[in-house]
Structure 1
């Protein structure tokens, strides 16, 4: 049986991978906080602004590596293929309260993107 937090994390992930940002945002609390390599992102609109360029313009596909969770916390790890790089691994640890993601600790490897940028120069 899949835990409720994991169900929500996976549904959110599937939605933005499918480029359905309206659906993806419906899994977030209005006051969601995301801790990302770019810094702290607060609120659903700021989260959308952070995610939209990647999901809508750069993402080609994603492959789930692992997913675990309990009733309040879920961790997913996946690898994305993007326009600039063939492999960009990422992980998210989300906290779910009242059926919505309230916190996301979002990690990804910047090195492939930095190497691609150096090659383009």
Structure 2
């Protein structure tokens, strides 16, 4: 379900389509230089740190399905299901704050445990 006609939602969906389409350069064009991102691995500050976090994830993504999307003039929430090379079922959610047409703050929620287990299994081979 999506809520059409929201300025923040439009930016959030464009960003989501870009990174799920493996176009990290286009995705970063929707991100403010001074973004603050709160994610399971910790707080990321600035576009370089954010790119270093999202770029590799975008490259291991094999499927993404948007489950729900809502927004208003400044805030959007996306919920999605993803499959990745190491983890076949990795749902996530994002709360995005949009300032001047770009993402200035993001809170990402996902379960890190399956990714940690996949890394440990790969290291033990």
Residue segments in structure 2 that go unaligned for 5+ positions in a row: none
Deviation, 1:119, is: 5.4
Q: How many residues align?
A: 120
Matched, 1:10 2:18: no
Deviation, 1:8, is: 0.3
Partner of 2:64: 62
TM-score (norm 1): 0.92
Partner of 1:41: 44
Matched, 1:22 2:25: yes
Partner of 1:109: 111
Residues 52-91 of structure 1 mapped to structure 2, 5 A cutoff: 52-56=55-59, 58-91=60-93
Residue segments in structure 1 that go unaligned for 5+ positions in a row: none
Give the aligned CA root-mean-square deviation in angstroms: 1.3
1:62-116, CA deviations, whole angstroms, 9 ceiling, x for partnerless residues? 0111100000000000011011121101000000011010000011112332444
Partner of 2:53: 50
TM-score (norm 2): 0.89
CA distance in 2: counterparts of 1:98 and 1:117, whole angstroms: 38
Instruction: Point out 4+ residue stretches in structure 1 off by more than 6 angstroms.
Output: none
CA distance in 2: counterparts of 1:42 and 1:115, whole angstroms: 27
CA distance in 2: counterparts of 1:111 and 1:2, whole angstroms: 36
Deviation, 1:118, is: 5.7
